[in-house]
Amino acid sequence: MKNKLIGAAIFGQSGGPTSVINASAYGVIRTALDAPEITHVYGAAHGIVGVLNDNLYDMGKEDADELKLLMNTPSSELGSCRYKIKEEHELKRIHEIFEKYNIRYFFYNGGNDSMDTCSKVNDYMQRIGYECRVIGVPKTIDNDLVGTDHCPGFGSAAKYIATTISEVYKDCHVYDTGAITVIEIMGRHAGWLTGASALASIHGLGPDYIYMPEIPFEMDDFLRNVQRTFEEKNNCLVAVSEGVRHRDGTFVAKAQISETDGFGHAQLGGLAARLAHAAGQKTGAKVRGIELSLLQRCAAHLASQTDIEEAFLAGKSAVEHAIDGHTGKMVCFTRENDHGKYRCGITYEPLSVCANMEKNVPREWISTCGTNVTQEFIDYVLPLIQGENERLLQNGLPRFAQLKKIKAEV
């Protein structure tokens, strides 16, 4: 018999947003609001920072229809943070807030750094004997979380990237004089997103070269490849990860102006322009560097319906698992074969397995030459980008959720 735990819940969003992270928010919030065990549902403003600052929103005071619009609203609606818990007094403060609002359920939506926060909160509450159930909800366009087949947010970003590459392919082939185009794609340490550019090749509109962080970047090889292809085809289209590194492990892209965030990560960028310039110097061709930047992670208009539904499922499953008596877990996806068709299953892994770890693209899914992906990679990503989202449009524009964000009181 499960131990019935009655109390309030906090939900928080953390790390870089995705175009479907709010579908997970809706999965958590709706399920928690409907659960008899959960007395109040609070949203943390800017994740754990909102908990530390006693800045919570009362989600029970939101209009039900507006909440539902979270399903198609990009980026972290409650606000996000990149905050690493370092000191015991921070955990004490979180406990103080939990006591104040009688928080018995804590749901944290983020990537591997955020699972570190989630894990620390869980361990602390266990250690001091405060009864509370803590479940992590995965998200990241980078798709690098350990323990799960794939991450909510990745499928939509992959769909955007493959679509955009196909469109840019058309545009960059228009001039008789030819062109070299370099497109920079996010994914700080893993090449899942950059590899997804290869999906455009299914219709013959893909990049000539794909540079991923898993393979050390050599400038001379890059320039040789681009020159050869430009001479052969009067054109060359390159997809490059912001996270490509030199053989010594340093980023090729590291923006000089950036501060590191709470987890010690520098903002990357400027690589496409740099590589395009170098290619122009070498070949004399017309060049263009394009940084997809935030566009790839907030493009709700191109979100994959599969991804939206799975993101919702991740949030809903987190609440159900906690109510069932579990704590210290992250919701994970499994890949099921349903009579030859893809189906997403749910499992739960200990937070300690998922926190702070990164999953790279396996070497065998990268072509031998290191600048393309294999059919296995394509087969892995393709089911995740399926389905068009059904969003509300007004005046020809997307109508996103407009929450009241009423401050919680006890």
| Closest CB to ligand F6P among residues 245, 297 | 297
- In the bound state, the residue with its beta carbon closest to ligand F6P is 16
Least Å distance, CB 261 to ligand F6P, is 6
235-241 sheet: strands from edge to edge: 209-211, 235-241, 179-185, 287-291
| Residue 299 interacting with ligand F6P (CB under 6 A) | no
- Which residues are CB-contacts of 241 (< 8 A; sequence separation ≥ 6)? 184, 185, 186, 187, 191, 193, 194, 211, 212, 213
**Does position 280 bind ligand F6P by CB under 6 A?**
no
Q: How many other CB atoms are found less than 10 A from the CB of residue 162? A: 25
Say if residues 163 and 386 touch (Cβ distance below 8 Å): no
| Shortest distance, position 254 Cβ to ligand F6P, whole Å | 11
Phi, psi of 325, deg, nearest 5: 105, 10
Closest CA to 184 of 266, 279, 288, 289: 289
C-beta of 243 vs 315, nearer to ligand F6P? 243
From the list 180-188, 206-214, 276-284, 393-401, the region that binds ligand F6P by CB under 6 A is 180-188
Q: Which of positions 3-22 make contact with ligand F6P (CB under 6 A)?
A: 15-16
Minimal distance, residue 141 CB to ligand F6P, in Å: 5
d(CA 384, CA 256): 35
What x-and-dash track marks residues 70-109 binding ligand F6P by CB under 6 A? ------------x---------------------------
In the set 23, 141, 180, 199, which binds ligand F6P (CB under 6 A)?
A: 141
Window 311-330: residues binding ligand F6P (CB under 6 A): none
Which lies closer to ligand F6P via its Cβ, residue 141 or residue 276? 141
Residues 233-252 interacting with ligand F6P (rule: CB under 6 A): 242
Instruction: Please give the span between the terminal C-alpha atoms of the chain, in angstroms, as a whole number.
Output: 31
C-alpha span between 182 and 398 (Å, rounded) = 30
Q: Please identify, among the stretches 25-33, 50-58, 261-269, 336-344, the one whose residues bind ligand F6P according to the rule CB under 6 A.
A: 261-269
Single-letter residue type at 321 = H
Q: CB neighbours of 359 closer than 8 A, spacing ≥ 6? A: 143, 144, 145, 146, 190
Binding segment (CB under 6 A) for ligand F6P, from list 181-189, 200-208, 358-366, 370-378: 181-189
188 scored as a contact of ligand F6P (CB under 6 A): yes
Using the rule CB under 6 A, is 218 a contact of ligand F6P?
no
140 near ligand F6P, judged by CB under 6 A: yes
State the catalytic residue, choosing from 54, 116, 123, 142.
Answer: 142
**C-beta of 133 vs 188, nearer to ligand F6P:** 188
Active site residue 142: yes
Does 289 contact ligand F6P by CB under 6 A? Answer: no
Among positions 334-393, residues that touch ligand F6P (CB under 6 A) are none
Q: Which pair of structure tokens corresponds to residue 271?
A: 């690589």
Give the integer Cα–Cα distance in Å for 221 and 181: 17
According to CB under 6 A, which one of 39, 234, 267, 374 is a site residue for ligand F6P? Answer: 267
Beta carbon nearer to ligand F6P, 169 or 192 = 192
Q: Is residue 377 within 8 Å of residue 361, measured between CB atoms? A: yes
Residue 268 within binding range of ligand F6P, rule CB under 6 A: yes
Give the number of other CB atoms < 10 A from CB of residue 74: 22
* CB nearer ligand F6P, residue 75 or residue 119: 75
CB-CB contact of 18 with 153 (8 Å):
yes
Strands 103-110, 287-291: parallel, antiparallel or unpaired by DSSP?
A: unpaired
CA dihedral 186, 188, 189, 195 (to 10 degrees): 0
Beta strands 341-350 and 329-338 are antiparallel
Q: Is 186 a binder of ligand F6P (CB under 6 A)?
A: yes
Q: Which stretch binds ligand F6P (CB under 6 A): 136-144, 211-219, 304-312, 398-406?
A: 136-144
3-state secondary structure of 65: helix
Beta bridge partners of 209: 238
261 touches ligand F6P by CB under 6 A: yes
Within 13 Å, how many C-alpha atoms sit on residue 352's CB side?
3
For the bound state, the minimum distance from the C-beta of residue 186 to ligand F6P, rounded and expressed in Å, comes to 3
- Beta bridge partners, 329, equal 135, 350
187 near ligand F6P, judged by CB under 6 A? yes
Q: Which residues are catalytic?
A: 142
| Interaction site with ligand F6P (CB under 6 A) | 15-16, 82, 111, 140-142, 186-188, 242, 261, 267-268, 297
